[in-house]
Structure 1
Amino acid sequence: MTTQQISKHMDDAEIYHGEAICKQKSRQLLNDMALPRGLLPLDDVVEVGYDRTSGFMWLKQKSKKEHRFPAIGRDVSYDTEVTAFVDERRMRRLTGVKSKELFVWVSISDISIDDSDPTKITFSNSTGIFRSFPVSAFELEDDGNGSNRKK
């Protein structure tokens, strides 16, 4: 299903290949959408695509990846294909991302930062269950230039 979604948006999309440029473009897209750049901590990304007209974006990586966000004590799993429709401060209809809650992996379908409290980021699933965490838990470590996000 995810591959079908990607193929529908390829004609009008900016598509990048190669690990270094894909990592840069995925972080730039998160930054442009005012989302924390550490939200998708993927290393082996081989393709990034973004259709500006529809807001659809995708990332393809060599293999699945699990990542632990130590500031909140949560494990997150990223599938080989991650897709979403992105807007300012929001990723909706997200696929390929799961969070471990107790002993069960739960699919994440929406990530957003509310305008009323920009210090919190909320993750929800398709059943309406959600959790909020500090945005700072998903920022990148200082990259040496003194600025990690567009303000």
Structure 2
Amino acid sequence: MGFVTDEVRARAEKYTGDELCREKTKEFLKEVDMPNGLLPLKDIEEVGYDRETGVVWLKQKKSITHKFESIGKLVSYGTEVTAVVEVGKIKKLTGVKAKELLIWVTLNELVLEQPTSSGKINFRTPTGLSRTFPVTAFVVPEVEKPAVAKEAIAN
């Protein structure tokens, strides 16, 4: 985890448990204006976020491959995903690869080209290659939590 030092870990907000980690992942993505479906991880064991440096890490039980249906792209997420985040940008990304034709290419930076829900997001590789897709391809509709009736609270 290279830049996830003991100092960063000590300072960071840390969460464990799949459900809470998924919620916190969506929260930090929203905080940096990135689409909420960008990290569709499963069985997450730990999420950490150091707001001071922007360092984020996510650990999941096993690697997964996710297909973003609307753009027909496969993306592989390793057991550890790390990054440095700022508004509209995820940089120094590790643990994420995308399938291009017949090969898997490492992604190391995601940048919003037009920071709106109708904008574009650019995926960059360490070699300088990049692809741009609509932000909407990575947005998952939010499920509203049902309102708790006052009667249920009183009981």
Question: What is the TM-score with the length of structure 2 in the denominator?
Answer: 0.87
Change (3 A) 1:142 1:49: closer
Q: Which residue of 1 aligns with 2:26?
A: 27
Q: 1:6: how far off? A: 2.4
CA RMSD of aligned residues (A): 1.5
Greater relative contact order (Cα 8 A, min sep 6): structure 1 or 2? 1
Q: 1:115: how far off? A: 4.1
Q: Is residue 120 of structure 1 aligned with residue 100 of structure 2?
A: no
Instruction: Give me the whole-angstrom Cα distance separating, in 1, the residues matched to 2:45 and 2:93.
Output: 19
Q: Aligned with 1:23: secondary structure? A: helix
What pairs with 1:70-149 in structure 2 (closer than 5 Å)? 70-115=69-114, 119-144=119-144
Maintained 8 Å contact 2:121/2:135: yes
Amino acid at match of 1:74: K
Q: 1:127: how far off? A: 1.1
Q: Which residue of 2 aligns with 1:55?
A: 54
- 1:14-68: CA deviation from partner (whole Å, max 9, x where unpaired): 1101111101000100011100000000121110001111100000000000000
Instruction: Give me the whole-angstrom Cα distance separating, in 2, the residues matched to 1:16 and 1:116.
Output: 28
Maintained 8 Å contact 2:114/2:120: no
User: Structure 2 stretches of 5 or more lacking a match?
Assistant: 146-155
Q: Which has the larger radius of gyration?
A: 2
Q: 1:116: how far off? A: 7.2
Q: 1:11: how far off? A: 1.4
Instruction: Give me the whole-angstrom Cα distance separating, in 1, the residues matched to 2:102 and 2:144.
Output: 37
Instruction: Give me the whole-angstrom Cα distance separating, in 2, the residues matched to 1:56 and 1:116.
Output: 21
Instruction: Give me the whole-angstrom Cα distance separating, in 2, the residues matched to 1:91 and 1:5.
Output: 14
Q: Which residue of 1 aligns with 2:4?
A: 6
More displaced 10-residue stretch of structure 1: 4-13 or 92-101: 4-13
Instruction: Give me the whole-angstrom Cα distance separating, in 2, the residues matched to 1:115 and 1:57.
Output: 23
Q: Aligned with 1:121: secondary structure? A: strand
Q: 1:114: how far off? A: 2.2
Change (3 A) 1:116 1:68: closer
Instruction: Give me the whole-angstrom Cα distance separating, in 2, the residues matched to 1:72 and 1:101.
Output: 12
Instruction: Give me the whole-angstrom Cα distance separating, in 2, the residues matched to 1:43 and 1:60.
Output: 10
Q: Aligned with 2:140: secondary structure? A: coil
Question: What is the TM-score with the length of structure 1 in the denominator?
Answer: 0.89
Amino acid at match of 2:29: L
Maintained 8 Å contact 2:110/2:124: yes
